[in-house]
Structure 1
Amino acid sequence: MAAISIFVGSMYGNAEGLAEKSVDFLNKSGHQAQVIEPATLEALKQADNVLFISSTTGSGDIPDNLLPLFLQMQSEFPMLTGKNVAVIALGDSSYGETFCGAGKQIDAFIEELNASKVLPRLDIDACEYFEPWEAAEQWLQQLASKL
């Protein structure tokens, strides 16, 4: 059993809804998952297993509720050595180069912070999946088995 801290960036509730389903799924899989609100650097430092779930806003930007944590991470550069981290990015491929931009930024930055990536980032395209759970369920099964 692993304790999994989920940090969510959401503007219109899609990422939040996916995070809630992910908590239920991971808990039923024998883990202890919870959404961390508010998303703080202290909570990130205390977590051993981290899942970021973020939608993308504007021109590939991180949503307002996750942006303060991301900016603080950039400012303080807390090394995540020894932490298992995974990222689910939500986006719309019709936006071209900014598709899943928030998740891509988070994913690239956690590598810089030396986190152990449990799985490759999952990009979920709103043009393909109206409900992100459909795309995330199998990926979360893999995550649950690796933690």
Structure 2
Amino acid sequence: MKKISLVFGSVYGSAESVAETLYRELQNQGLSVQLHQPESLTGYVPNEEELLLLVSSTTGDGDLPENIVPWFVQMKDSAPYLPNLEYAVVALGDSSYDHFCGGGHQLDELFSELGAKRIGEVFEIDACETMEPENEALTWLKKWLKLLK
């Protein structure tokens, strides 16, 4: 299986915790995975030979977390064409807000515009329905990995 690059954006730590949980589980399964810290994303363009796993919370009016905005803008401005990149999105949000999981959906739209191919649907985790987003993400991960085989 391809190496997995895991990128996250987080405001209060939930998305970071989900990303770290997914990272550990992927490692436990013997897969090659790299967890990218938001502050290390400057100049990073995903390798099309890898799988990209994006995890993002949502803030404000459906906005991306501040710690991932510089990378998002960099990718949008440079607009690399990534037709061979496969990716997935785990979006965290609160369904009591109008733009539920808006941060994750913005990332999905961007990578779709860059020509990348999403594997599976955007996985939405609702803070109104779960207190343990990590467990929801682990359940999703099992299903997502089956799509890759």
When normalised by structure 2's length, the TM-score is 0.90
Inter-CA distance 112–142: structure 2 relative to 1 (3 Å threshold): same
Separation in structure 1 between the aligned mates of residue 121 and residue 72 of structure 2, nearest angstrom? 20
Does the Cα contact within 8 Å between 1:89 and 1:124 map onto a contact in 2?
Answer: yes
Taking every aligned residue pair, what percent have the same amino acid on both sides? 41
1:133 aligns to 2:134 (yes or no): yes
1:51 equivalenced with 2:58 (yes/no) = no
SS of the equivalent of 1:7 reads strand
CA contact (8 A) 1:84 1:115 kept: yes
Task: Please tell me whether the aligned partners of residues 48 and 86 of structure 2 are also in contact (alpha carbons under 8 angstroms).
Answer: no
Question: Contact between 1:31 and 1:144, CA under 8 Å: does it hold in 2?
Answer: no
Mapped to 1, the partners of 2:5 and 2:49 lie a distance apart of 6
Q: Which residue of 2 aligns with 1:15?
A: 15
Equivalent AA in structure 2 for residue 53 of structure 1: V
Give the Cα–Cα distance (whole angstroms) in 2 for the partners of residues 45 and 69 of structure 1. Answer: 15
What residue is the counterpart of 1:100 in the other structure?
A: 101
The CA distance in 2 between the partners of 1:138 and 1:125, in whole Å, is: 14
RMSD of equivalent CA atoms = 1.5
Q: What code does the residue aligned with 1:60 have?
A: G
- What displacement does 1:94 show? 0.8
Give the Å deviation of 1:80: 1.6
Is the Cα–Cα contact under 8 Å of residues 4 and 52 in structure 2 kept in the other structure?
Answer: yes
Q: 1:67 to 1:77 in 2, by over 3 A?
A: same
- 1:94 maps to a residue whose letter is S
State the shift of 1:63 in Å. Answer: 0.6
Partner of 2:60, secondary structure, is coil
Aligned-partner Cα distance in 1 for 2:25–2:84: 24
Does the 8 Å contact 2:48/2:82 carry over to 1?
A: no
- Cα deviation, 1:98-143, whole Å, max 9, x if unaligned, reads 1101111111121111111111100100000111022211211122
TM, length-normalised to structure 1: 0.91
**Can you give the 5+ residue segments of structure 2 that lack an aligned partner in the other structure?**
none
CA shift, 1:43, in A, is 4.4
**Structure 1 residues without counterparts, runs of 5 or longer:** none
**2:62 & 2:43 partners in 1: Cα distance?**
22
State the distance in 2 between where 1:123 and 1:47 align: 26
Q: Partner of 2:44 in structure 1?
A: 42
